[in-house]
Amino acid sequence: MSVDTPRETHKFQAEINQLLNLVINSLYSHKEIFLRELVSNASDALDKLRFRSVTEPELMEGGAALEIHILPDEEKGTLTIEDTGIGMAHDELVKNLGTIAHSGSREFLELVSQRGQKDVNLIGQFGVGFYSAYLVADHVEVVSRAAGKDSKAWKWTSDAKGTFTVEPAERATRGTSIILHLKEEQKEFLGEWRLRSLITQYSDYVNHPIKLQVQKTTGEGEAQKTETQLEVVNKASALWQRPKSEITDEQYQEFYKHLSHDFEAPLAWTHFRTEGNQVFTGLLFVPKHPPFDLNSPQQRGVRLFVKRVLIMDRCEEMLPQWLRFVRGVVDSDDLPLNVSRELLQDSAVVKAIHKHVTKKTLDMLEKLAKDKPEDYRTFWQGFGTVLKEGLAVDTEYREKLGALVRYESSREEGLTSLADYVTRMKEGQEAIYYIFGESRKAVVGSPHLEALKKRGYEVLYMTDPVDEWAAQGLKEYQGKPLVSAMHADLKLKETEEEKREKEQRAKGLGPLAERMKEVLKEQVREVRVSDRLTDSPCCLVVPEGGSHAYVERLLRERGRGLPRTKRILEVNPSHPIIEHLKALQEKEPASEQVTEWVEMLYDQALLTEGSSVEDPNRFARRMTALMTQLAALKVPPAGAVASGPETPTSDAKPTEGSAVAAGPETPLPRN
């Protein structure tokens, strides 16, 4: 476009309009965060220029130093934040300041809408920190010139009322100037002391000089004069390169906020330097709460520096995916400045750094769990599901991760570690037992736990979808195997007498077991006597190589098309229902009622394992018929004199379990 190009007027994208309305019209606290966000953006522009200049040295032509300037003008009522960074061309101004580039505005608006949030402290997390300028300004101008030969300057202007303009401008050097025309009630941000304190608080660790324009009086008497000077306010040195002894907790916390745009302090951090075959420094943080982009593949990794030059904002090769919540920096002395993504993936140096940084992170979490158990509980509630992914995919860290996992259990409310579980194991207990389901409520009364509870064995409640694979990956802890209470290979220690009794019960079940196999031949692979049931008539158990019902359902819901694994039906021969069903089978071997009740027991077993029945309407009609029978046994007809507890209300003479046992004598609906 030529210099004579007239001013263009553009409309903001709808989401940007919403964002601006929110910023301008809502009553926010901490309006001063606008300075943090704009300085942070300026710092990023300088980092991008320094990185690109490694392979494009011509971008640095012009000689302007890499700096940020803060220029207050009380007479005009403006505050200017300018940098000598990468700058923006015409199309970049239109795209970056008028439309959504990475959906950040939309996600920010959704979160604010959900929470009713009245504070923009977290605005920078969404990549839309520029718009915090309108917290304090009613009119904003942006003058920018992209780095490179023959580039031209452009001015972007808007009062945030639905449109913005772009027109040619004059700027001597590359970089960007943001001119804020402050609202009358926000003129406090023109004061030197106010600006100096905000820069020190929020931006002291920016790795470029931040120069504040100040008025200095020199000379005495008639020779006295006032001069305008630029004075460096921040330390302009990398915090992670300073000795730990010189850094306070508050400084670590403020650096984390600057780095992550989080408004809360981190739960924990670790600062280390490694010297040997590789030399690198790391400063890693664990957030207090999950960020909105926790599961976004584009948003994991730490900042990678090489000799204090920012190389990559999100370097995922530094940490495994199951530590994607970690924020921080890694600064290497050994990698080349022009390192590429391909080189990172194949580099022996990177692999060594990856291993060391992973270990340091796990050590940090271990220390947090030991020294601050309540903080670790907060961490686990936010990130435990992510951390458990490591057990499923990374056997190298199995032991360390096993020490960090926490589960609810049958012992009491709350979380327990595997180490604490092992110390509470009963004499003779050979395994760590767990049950898998959708929630604590769904598993706490499961029939699969009856024999374990009878022996006094504690059972872990696993209720995250990833737990199935995490348990398979962990396999054992401190020499104790992890065993599912729902799997067929549950082997409980038995005395010789118990073994003989089990064999006798199996023989006694005889014809009924064969009939059950015939009725359910399409649904189950085997019918056998159970040694895990004490109070329930039957249950379904998972054969070797099979998955729990909850996992199968989740995979089917996500389009994996996983067929249901045929289960093994375990039967409790001493239960009244089974005893009466066995008697009916012996009395009438061809009875259709046996078929009806076997199918109903199978449906019941499906529900208790967390599966759905194949024909819920038929199951509901059968339950209605059963309740009708029970009502006929217990409730006198209308007009009859109510009998006392000793007086039977029908000719039936119930015994233990006979309310249910009477069922097989009465036909249930077939359809």
Q: Which of the two residues, 117 and 375, has the higher pLDDT score? A: 375
Instruction: Indicate whether 480 pLDDT > 80.
Output: yes
Q: What is the mean pLDDT of residues 151-164?
A: 94
| Residue 197 covered by a domain | yes
Lowest-pLDDT range, 80-84, 352-356, 493-497? 493-497
Amino acid at 490: L
Phi-psi map region of 441: left, alpha, beta (phi>0 left; psi -120 to 50 alpha): alpha
| Residue 206 covered by a domain | yes
What distance in Å separates the CA atoms of residue 350 and residue 402, rounded to the nearest whole number? 26
Lowest-pLDDT range, 222-226, 274-278, 347-351, 542-546? 222-226
| Residue 187 covered by a domain | yes
CATH code for the domain in which residue 469 is found = 3.40.50.11260
pLDDT, one tens digit per residue, over 290-300 is: 887 777 766 67
Of 461, 484, 507, the residue at which a domain comes to its end is 484
Instruction: Indicate whether 372 pLDDT > 90.
Output: yes
* DSSP designation for 234: S
Long-range CB pairs of 415-421 (<8 Å, 24+ gap) are 415/377, 415/380, 416/460, 417/369, 418/477, 418/478, 419/477, 419/478, 421/458, 421/460
3-state secondary structure 577-589: HHHHHHHHHHHCC
pLDDT, one tens digit per residue, over 25-74 is: 764 567 888 998 899 889 989 988 988 888 899 999 877 899 999 999 99
CATH code for the domain in which residue 537 is found = 1.20.120.790
**Tokens read off for 449:** 């736990």
Q: How many residues does the chain have?
A: 671
Angle at 475 between CA 471 and CA 477, to 5 degrees: 100
Contact 181, 12 (CB under 8 A): no
| Residue 489 covered by a domain | no
Instruction: Indicate whether 655 pLDDT > 50.
Output: no
Angle at 622 between CA 620 and CA 627, to 5 degrees: 95
Q: Which residues contact 219 (CB under 8 A, 6 or more apart)?
A: 225
Q: Which of the two residues, 125 and 643, has the higher pLDDT score? A: 125
What distance in Å separates the CA atoms of residue 85 and residue 41, rounded to the nearest whole number? 10
What distance in Å separates the CA atoms of residue 319 and residue 328, rounded to the nearest whole number? 11
**Domains held by the chain: number:** 4
Lowest-pLDDT range, 67-71, 379-383, 552-556? 552-556
Q: Categorize the per-residue pLDDT at 435 as very low, low, confident or very high, splitting at 50, 70 and 90.
A: very high
pLDDT, one tens digit per residue, over 599-644 is: 999 999 999 988 888 889 988 988 888 888 778 876 555 555 444 4
Q: What is the mean pLDDT of residues 374-390?
A: 96
- How confident is the model at residue 652, as a pLDDT? 40
Contact 162, 12 (CB under 8 A): yes
| Residue 671 covered by a domain | no
3-state secondary structure 606-656: HHHHCCCCCCHHHHHHHHHHHHHHHHHHHCCCCCCCCCCCCCCCCCCCCCC
- How confident is the model at residue 659, as a pLDDT? 37
Q: Which of the two residues, 669 and 89, has the higher pLDDT score? A: 89
CA–CA distances in Å: residue 50 to residues 61, 86, 173? 12, 8, 15
Q: Are 145 and 245 part of one and the same domain? A: no
Amino acid at 71: L
- The torsion of the CA quartet 580, 583, 589, 590, rounded to 10 degrees, works out to -30
Q: What is the mean pLDDT of residues 211-232?
A: 86
Amino acid at 524: V
- How confident is the model at residue 115, as a pLDDT? 56
Lowest-pLDDT range, 60-64, 373-377, 408-412, 448-452? 60-64
Q: What is the mean pLDDT of residues 200-204?
A: 81
First to last CA, the chain: 78
pLDDT, one tens digit per residue, over 3-33 is: 456 899 999 988 888 878 877 776 456 788 8
Q: Are 465 and 570 part of one and the same domain? A: no
What distance in Å separates the CA atoms of residue 323 and residue 319, rounded to the nearest whole number? 6
- How confident is the model at residue 562, as a pLDDT? 66
Q: Are 24 and 160 part of one and the same domain? A: yes
DSSP-based three-state secondary structure for 115: helix
Contact 315, 330 (CB under 8 A): yes
Q: Categorize the per-residue pLDDT at 105 as very low, low, confident or very high, splitting at 50, 70 and 90.
A: low
Lowest-pLDDT range, 16-20, 90-94, 197-201, 346-350? 16-20
- How confident is the model at residue 26, as a pLDDT? 63
Q: Which of the two residues, 541 and 412, has the higher pLDDT score? A: 541
pLDDT, one tens digit per residue, over 63-86 is: 789 999 999 999 999 999 999 999
Q: Are 123 and 270 part of one and the same domain? A: no
Q: Are 245 and 228 part of one and the same domain? A: no
CATH code for the domain in which residue 287 is found = 3.30.230.80
- Which residue segment(s) compose the domain that 277 sits in? 239-383
What H or E segment, with its residue span, contains residue 52? helix 33-52
- How confident is the model at residue 516, as a pLDDT? 94
Residue found under tokens 């670590």: 252
Q: Is the dihedral of CA 201, 207, 213, 215 positive or negative?
A: positive
- How confident is the model at residue 191, as a pLDDT? 95
Q: Are 217 and 258 part of one and the same domain? A: no
Contact 7, 165 (CB under 8 A): yes
**Tokens read off for 557:** 């819901």
Instruction: Indicate whether 175 pLDDT > 60.
Output: yes
Q: Are 129 and 246 part of one and the same domain? A: no
- How confident is the model at residue 123, as a pLDDT? 57
| Residue 422 covered by a domain | yes
Of 232, 248, 276, the residue at which a domain comes to its end is 232
Contact 157, 165 (CB under 8 A): yes
What distance in Å separates the CA atoms of residue 306 and residue 144, rounded to the nearest whole number? 28
The 10 Å CB-count burial string (b at 16+, else e) for 135-172 is bbbebbbbbbbbbbeebbbbbbbbebeeebebebbebe
Instruction: Indicate whether 390 pLDDT > 70.
Output: yes
Q: Categorize the per-residue pLDDT at 213 as very low, low, confident or very high, splitting at 50, 70 and 90.
A: very high
Lowest-pLDDT range, 8-17, 113-122, 314-323? 113-122
Q: Are 228 and 141 part of one and the same domain? A: yes
CA 131 to the chain's CA centroid: 27
Of 216, 232, 248, the residue at which a domain comes to its end is 232
pLDDT, one tens digit per residue, over 458-474 is: 999 999 989 999 999 99
Contact 92, 146 (CB under 8 A): yes
Q: Are 85 and 225 part of one and the same domain? A: yes
Q: Categorize the per-residue pLDDT at 225 as very low, low, confident or very high, splitting at 50, 70 and 90.
A: confident
DSSP string for 525-566:
EEEEE-SS-SSSSEEEEBPTT---HHHHHHHHHTT--PPPPP
What distance in Å separates the CA atoms of residue 408 and residue 381, rounded to the nearest whole number? 12
Q: Which of the two residues, 237 and 320, has the higher pLDDT score? A: 320
Instruction: Indicate whether 492 pLDDT > 50.
Output: yes
Q: Categorize the per-residue pLDDT at 650 as very low, low, confident or very high, splitting at 50, 70 and 90.
A: very low
Q: How many CA atoms are closer than 13 Å to the CA of 175, on its beta-carbon side?
A: 26
- How confident is the model at residue 180, as a pLDDT? 98
* DSSP designation for 487: B
Contact 540, 525 (CB under 8 A): no
Lowest-pLDDT range, 129-143, 546-560, 598-612, 656-670? 656-670
pTM, to two decimals = 0.72
Q: Are 267 and 228 part of one and the same domain? A: no
- How confident is the model at residue 262, as a pLDDT? 83
- How confident is the model at residue 29, as a pLDDT? 64
- How confident is the model at residue 102, as a pLDDT? 47
Q: Are 219 and 113 part of one and the same domain? A: yes
Read off φ and ψ for residue 181, nearest 5 degrees.
Answer: -90, 100
Q: Categorize the per-residue pLDDT at 127 as very low, low, confident or very high, splitting at 50, 70 and 90.
A: low
What distance in Å separates the CA atoms of residue 363 and residue 534, rounded to the nearest whole number? 44
Q: Which residues contact 430 (CB under 8 A, 6 or more apart)?
A: 480, 481, 493
- How confident is the model at residue 661, as a pLDDT? 41
Q: What is the mean pLDDT of residues 269-280?
A: 91
Q: Which of the two residues, 269 and 338, has the higher pLDDT score? A: 269
Residue found under tokens 């990374």: 394
Most confident of 183-197, 210-224, 631-645: 183-197
| Residue 394 covered by a domain | no
| Residue 1 covered by a domain | no
- How confident is the model at residue 667, as a pLDDT? 54
Q: Are 311 and 422 part of one and the same domain? A: no
Angle at 657 between CA 653 and CA 658, to 5 degrees: 30
